[in-house]
Structure 1
Amino acid sequence: MNLVENIKEALKSVKVNLLRTILTGTIIAIGITSLVGMLTAIDGIKAQIEESFSGLGASNFDVRSRGTSGGAAVQEGKSEKIYPNLKYREAVKFQEEFNSIAPSTIFSTVTGAAEVKRGSKKTNPNVRITGADDLYFNIKGIKIEKGRNFSATEVQYGNGVCVIGTDVIESLFGKDEDPLNDYITVFGRRYTIVGILEKQGSVGGGPGPDRAIFIPIENASRLDSRGTFRYTVTVSGSDPLKLDYEMGQATGIMRKIRQDRVGEEDSFEIVKSRSVGESLEEVAGYLRIGGFTIGFITLLGAAIGLMNIMMVSVTERTREIGIRKALGATPLRIRQQFLIEAIVICIIGGILGVLLGIGIGNIVANAIGPGGFLIPWIWIMVAFVICIFVGLASGYFPARKASKLDPIESLRYE
């Protein structure tokens, strides 16, 4: 009995025991459906969100004070040199010189714990005040729902105007009141509301744009009496492929402005901005791990069920195994027959599971938001590899038991 005959016998056995094959294949199909379905839905939702924010932040980079991300680092027992913060006039000069290469925005966080007043009403001291120019909202992908953006004149002269988040509006205004062109007070200064941001929410309860007020950067610089504000310039690159070139150009311009000497390290930092796509990929990665874990647990239960059924099959076909051995079948061929049978059942279940998983995953993804039809080829390949592995793992012990049966004792079995 060669391998081809073994395959034919395994397929014949699958066909003869059709009900058992259907039940076992269904168990495998449920596991594969849960695995492929969840991963397809996750990829589909991610693709829709990425399409909505296509290109946002993909080629952006920040020019900022050195050591913005933390204190002075210590290397080889020596503290790194502390450089002065990037000044507002330096940021403005950089923006003017770099404007011919790519657009950019200057911004700085004034405080993250401001109390905003309007008449007798006031907010909790947890409002973030940010100074920004008229390009900030476009480059950062923040939408203004009502009203307007800062004008170039307001940014240039630092007028007392502001764009405000929805949480601040809810704290200071009633439902029937129109906040536009009304006044609020911050740090004892009066600001006119010219725009209201679209509600966005925030991750982890942090002070997102909903609990923020934006004022012209020139106006914010006047509040920097001690010169401690950290100004950042975010450059909106023209093309991700030209990012390294533009970052090199930015380094040269800023070194000239900061008067860094030849041979000395940069007194500032230029870092690639974290794009929406990268953030989504990180979140989707965690979701995939969760989906894969749930699918794996389901498949583990399916594998145990298949192993049990194959053990029963060995017991039922003891006489058949004895006859095959008496006719010259080796233990290897007996093992092959039962392993092939288990793998065939798993592949049948896998095909059904993949089809159901793709369908359910796309239905879920399109129910959350309209999008195209996604076929996750990688997860399909993973699913079939898992099916073969499950078949081998589930069929090995029953096949090993069958191959070790004594032919004489097997022929006597009733």
Structure 2
Amino acid sequence: MNLIENIREGLRAIHGNLLRTVLTGLIVSIGIMSLVGILTAVDSMKYSLTQTFSSLGANSFDIRRKGFNNRGSQQGRVSKVYPKISYVQAMKYKDLMSDNARVSLSAFISGATVVKSETEKTNPNISVVGGDDFYLESQSMNLAEGRGFSSFEHEFGSNVAIIGNEVKQNLFKNKDAIGQHITFLGRRFKVVGQLEAKGSSMGGGNDRRIIIPLETGRQISRPGSSDLTYDIKTAIPNPEELDYVMGEATGIMRSVRQDALGQEESFEIRRSDSMLQSLNEISGYLKVGGFVIGFITLLGASVGLMNIMMVSVNERTREIGVRKALGATAQQIRQQFLIEAIVICILGGLVGIFLGIMMGNGIASLIGEGGFIVPWLWVIVGLTICVAVGVISGYYPAFKASKLDPIESLRYE
């Protein structure tokens, strides 16, 4: 009896005891479903949250001149003053990084600004920021009404503005702000967009902000003047490559700023993925916990499978005796019972993997939108565990069957 015949005989035995096979396979299916389901849910939730965090800047980093937020001296020592990042330097960096990342430039134009409409004016608490064509996207700002700036408005510095919710409420109250005109910093601007309300945290935030094209901000600050310092935000598609791109950005920025070899950087790079790092840490703990729970369930399934295989050996004692009398060796008997156990585990495992994937993605869909994930790693792990469970659970019953005396087996009732 060769291996192929043993496999066929094992399949015939499984088909002959179909109900028992189904019930045994369900035991394994539940164990694999719990393992794959939990781990799929963790991966799917992580994917969904990663996408959300990426939209909040988790895949980006900021570059500013070093010491931009210094407040005088510390312990009697005056902090070193570093030169501002100029427009030429910021544009050169943007050009050099454009192939690997999306770079947004912005500049703080004015704070404590009074903004006027035809009939109303705000308190002197409005900030004005100049931003390029990627500014709104990089800062995760959404428009409640209106539109963003056109390429023409960015290039030629048109007098157009996007206002925050509080600015709109103060100046236009129940009127539509889009298309209206406001005045600040000695210029008259047309309102083309309104930001979504964000609340009054952090002194007003986006609600007390006005965004104008970056070129317009440069004109207000007088062309060629060194008053403005430019902030650079670099975003990449894949958060996993953030460290690599930050290293590349550091080298490019040192070259642009002409920082000498061995000299410390005259700029600061701050990554924005602290939430993503916390998520990775939490998801790691969840995966460990899910694996332990699934493993315990599988351990119970393996015990149940071993018990059923022992019952099968006792029921088929006469059959084993006949096969031995016909010349079957102990190895062939062991092989047959092992094949039965492994096939049952694989069939149950395939069903469990399918149910686990559906269950995991279903759980993840309840907390947020995300793509349908097939965790191939956990599929392979699940199938490997199925085979291992089949071998472990089937070996002792197979070994016991192979040691039966043929004469005693034939006399067994």
Task: Give the TM-score of the pair, scaled to structure 2.
Answer: 0.60
Query: Quick check: 1:34 aligned with 2:37?
Result: no
- The superposition leaves residues 143-162 of structure 1 with CA deviations (integer Å, 9 ceiling, x where unpaired) of 4769999xxxxxxxxxxxxx
Query: Quick check: 1:305 aligned with 2:308?
Result: no
Query: Quick check: 1:346 aligned with 2:360?
Result: no
SS state of the match for residue 327, structure 2? coil
- The superposition leaves residues 288-337 of structure 1 with CA deviations (integer Å, 9 ceiling, x where unpaired) of 43433332222221111111111222222233223323332222111111
Structure 2: distance between partners of 1:327 and 1:264: 87
Shift in alpha-carbon separation, 1:104–1:51, aligned structure 2, 3 A: closer
Shift in alpha-carbon separation, 1:235–1:357, aligned structure 2, 3 A: closer
Shift in alpha-carbon separation, 1:246–1:266, aligned structure 2, 3 A: closer
Shift in alpha-carbon separation, 1:342–1:99, aligned structure 2, 3 A: closer
**RMSD in angstroms over aligned alpha carbons?**
6.2
- Residue 7 (structure 2) aligns with: 7
Unaligned runs of 5+ in 1: 69-82, 109-130, 150-162, 166-179, 181-194, 202-206, 219-230
Query: Quick check: 1:394 aligned with 2:393?
Result: yes
Shift in alpha-carbon separation, 1:254–1:282, aligned structure 2, 3 A: farther
Amino acid at match of 2:30: I
Q: Is the 1:197–1:210 Cα contact (8 Å) retained in structure 2?
A: no
SS state of the match for residue 309, structure 1? helix
- Residue 126 (structure 2) aligns with: none
Q: Is the 1:57–1:276 Cα contact (8 Å) retained in structure 2?
A: no
Q: Is the 1:36–1:357 Cα contact (8 Å) retained in structure 2?
A: yes
Q: Is the 1:62–1:271 Cα contact (8 Å) retained in structure 2?
A: yes
Q: Is the 1:92–1:106 Cα contact (8 Å) retained in structure 2?
A: no
SS state of the match for residue 351, structure 1? helix
Counting only pairs closer than 5 Å after superposition, residues 403-414 of structure 1 correspond to structure 2 as 403-414=402-413
- Residue 291 (structure 1) aligns with: 290
- Residue 16 (structure 1) aligns with: 16
Structure 1: distance between partners of 2:386 and 2:316: 24
Deviation of the 1:234 alpha carbon: 3.0
Structure 1: distance between partners of 2:365 and 2:269: 39
Q: Is the 2:164–2:196 Cα contact (8 Å) retained in structure 1?
A: no
Structure 2: distance between partners of 1:26 and 1:334: 25
Structure 1: distance between partners of 2:406 and 2:210: 89
SS state of the match for residue 63, structure 1? strand
Q: Is the 1:65–1:84 Cα contact (8 Å) retained in structure 2?
A: no
- Residue 249 (structure 1) aligns with: 252
Structure 1: distance between partners of 2:363 and 2:146: 36
Task: Give the TM-score of the pair, scaled to structure 1.
Answer: 0.60
Structure 2: distance between partners of 1:132 and 1:293: 53
Structure 2: distance between partners of 1:390 and 1:210: 58
Deviation of the 1:384 alpha carbon: 1.8
- The superposition leaves residues 168-217 of structure 1 with CA deviations (integer Å, 9 ceiling, x where unpaired) of xxxxxxxxxxxx9xxxxxxxxxxxxxx9986999xxxxx9x99999899x
Deviation of the 1:30 alpha carbon: 1.3
Amino acid at match of 2:255: G
Shift in alpha-carbon separation, 1:132–1:291, aligned structure 2, 3 A: farther
Shift in alpha-carbon separation, 1:57–1:355, aligned structure 2, 3 A: same
Aligned residues: 359
Amino acid at match of 1:248: G
- Residue 356 (structure 2) aligns with: 357
Q: Is the 1:40–1:361 Cα contact (8 Å) retained in structure 2?
A: yes
Counting only pairs closer than 5 Å after superposition, residues 308-347 of structure 1 correspond to structure 2 as 308-347=307-346
- Residue 95 (structure 1) aligns with: 90
Shift in alpha-carbon separation, 1:382–1:210, aligned structure 2, 3 A: farther
Identity fraction in percent: 49
Unaligned runs of 5+ in 2: 69-78, 108-128, 149-162, 166-176, 178-192, 212-216, 218-229
Counting only pairs closer than 5 Å after superposition, residues 13-412 of structure 1 correspond to structure 2 as 13-49=13-49, 60-63=60-63, 84=80, 89-90=84-85, 94-95=89-90, 98=93, 138-143=137-142, 233-236=232-235, 243=245, 246-255=249-258, 260-264=259-263, 266=265, 268=267, 270=269, 274=273, 284-367=283-366, 368-369=368-369, 373-412=372-411
Deviation of the 1:411 alpha carbon: 3.4
Shift in alpha-carbon separation, 1:338–1:249, aligned structure 2, 3 A: same
